[in-house]
Structure 1
Amino acid sequence: MGAAAWDGFLNDQDNWPAASRAEASKGSMTTARDTLGDRTFIKRKRMSQEERHLQILQAAVKIIATKGFWGMSLQDISDELGITEAALYHYISSKDDLLNMVLPECYDTPDEDEYNAVTAGFVDADGHRIYCYPRYCLNIVLYNLQRPELVQLYSVLNGEALDPEHPAHHFFIGRHMRQWEMICSVNWLLPPGMTEDRFYDLYTLAMSAMDGLQYRWLGDDSMNLLEQWMSLSDIIFPESEWKGFLDPSEHDPKQETDCMLPLTLSVRA
């Protein structure tokens, strides 16, 4: 990819979580990535309501990511926490209630949106905040590298929720369009000729490719997710079309003299 700001990412794995790093391939064997092995819970005699709530969420992520929603029980959660199942019912009323806590609080959070957007944007000469979609997609990958256990949780639940009887079915069926509505609210700097219909197809392609890579990454601990995504980015966002639209680093605010708003989809539409 031609954006200079992307050059150092592949060589900076020292600060990645252990489960996110590319491991040396072990002969012909392919082993699953250990996303949950370092998760521990410390039993404390007294906890505030907020501390217990967070502990329950962390335990639920670990158990559901391993067993799925159908396979886990509230006894599994209470065993993980070191409390009785009766004590757990002081905080949740059912498995469905637990799932309804996990989905909005652990995935698609405001913190995630802020992380993914903050370094994908720049301010043009007229003070408009403009965003680069290829960098936004890269930021999603960088963010998910920091939370492999939640990527596994999402992947397991997404597969289970194909069943219309699954309590998360409507959450996952509607997620693509909910995310698209959010995407449509952003001032994306897009190449000339990019219509809303074409951008929707591009968004669908990018997110589908990312989901597919993440499934492979979870199953193969020798895979470098970031390297694979940047390689695909050359195809999804070819430099011949996207040069100048890839990354904020391509626009020096000290030299920028033009209003970029006319190059965004919201104005063009």
Structure 2
Amino acid sequence: MTSQRKPRGPYRKGIERREQILQAALDVLAQRGERGSSLQEIADRVGVTQPALLHYFSSRDELLLAVVEQRDKLDPVVSEGLQKPGDAIAAAVQHNMDQPGLVRLFVTLSAAATDPSHHAHAFFARRYGKLTSRIAPGLAQGQQSGQVRADVDPERVARLLLAVLDGLQIQWLLDPSVDMVQLVETFTAMYTECASSEPGSVAEG
């Protein structure tokens, strides 16, 4: 039995440097947003020149898309699915509210990616399909445990949930007084309320 070897030498250093650049970009964009940041600022944080940065990310567009992908990996709903509907969604919404710059980048890039010729079009098209397939099983499990209404289709609810989350982000960016957590909880109640009274559930005595 052989263990998987970690990359060594220049290749490993290249991977580590790329991760450092990506983390610096996440930090800068979370604070300042796309328009308020520059490749030079990101390069300065890592201690490399801008040409060196572009050795790891061939363009600003490639770096921005990598940042959005990394943002998804840190999102509880995206990375873990939906095992506990209320808890997971609230955590994801709060996570996003703590980094408005990345929310703005996501909204801007996803809107632009609706153009089939856009460099991020394929990523976002795959993203929603993958997210639906991750969230729907958690909702189906919720139906079995009585947490989710039995008369709703898990895949349709998953699609609606993603639409609600994305739409609320736009409203929040336009008006920060919008309480995304509260509104998402209202939507969640629509497919969880009265779940305990569905056929086959055990009523409390």
For the criterion TM > 0.5, the same-fold answer is yes
Distance in 2, matches of 1:162 and 1:79, equals: 29
**Over residues 41-69 of structure 1, what are the superposed CA-to-partner deviations in whole Å (9 max), with x where a residue is unaligned?**
xxxxxxx73544422443466676338xx
2:195 to 232, 238, 242: 242
Matched, 1:92 2:57: yes
The aligned residue for residue 253 of structure 1 is none
2:91 to 133, 139, 162: 139
Which secondary structure state, in structure 1, belongs to the residue aligned with residue 183 of structure 2? helix
Distance in 2, matches of 1:114 and 1:211, equals: 13
Deviation at 1:215, TM superposition (A): 0.7
Distance in 1, matches of 2:134 and 2:110, equals: 20
The one-letter amino acid paired with 2:124 is: F
**Over residues 192-244 of structure 1, what are the superposed CA-to-partner deviations in whole Å (9 max), with x where a residue is unaligned?**
6346xx1211222222122111110111122222223223333x2352x2348
Distance in 1, matches of 2:141 and 2:29, equals: 36
The aligned residue for residue 193 of structure 1 is 150
Distance in 2, matches of 1:132 and 1:52, equals: 34
Matched, 1:78 2:40: yes
**Over residues 106-155 of structure 1, what are the superposed CA-to-partner deviations in whole Å (9 max), with x where a residue is unaligned?**
x220x43389859x7xxxxxxxxxx3334433332233223322222211
The aligned residue for residue 172 of structure 2 is 217
Matched, 1:54 2:23: yes
Deviation at 1:97, TM superposition (A): 3.3
Q: Is the 2:165–2:184 Cα contact (8 Å) retained in structure 1?
A: yes
1:148 to 91, 100, 105: 100
Pick 1 or 2: higher relative contact order, CA cutoff 8 A, min separation 6: 1
Q: Is the 2:114–2:121 Cα contact (8 Å) retained in structure 1?
A: yes
**Structure 2 gaps, min length 5:** 1-15
1:112 to 75, 90, 93: 75
The aligned residue for residue 102 of structure 1 is 67
**Over residues 59-109 of structure 1, what are the superposed CA-to-partner deviations in whole Å (9 max), with x where a residue is unaligned?**
466676338xxxx9xxx312554464323334322234324522322x220
Q: Is the 1:161–1:167 Cα contact (8 Å) retained in structure 2?
A: yes
The one-letter amino acid paired with 1:92 is: F
The aligned residue for residue 26 of structure 1 is none
**Structure 1 gaps, min length 5:** 1-47, 121-130, 246-261, 264-269
Deviation at 1:161, TM superposition (A): 0.6
Distance in 1, matches of 2:87 and 2:132, equals: 17
Distance in 1, matches of 2:42 and 2:188, equals: 40
Distance in 1, matches of 2:117 and 2:42, equals: 27
The aligned residue for residue 126 of structure 1 is none
Which secondary structure state, in structure 2, belongs to the residue aligned with residue 89 of structure 1? helix
Distance in 1, matches of 2:75 and 2:60, equals: 25
- Give me the TM-score of the superposition, normalised by structure 1: 0.53
Deviation at 1:162, TM superposition (A): 1.0
| Count of residue correspondences | 176
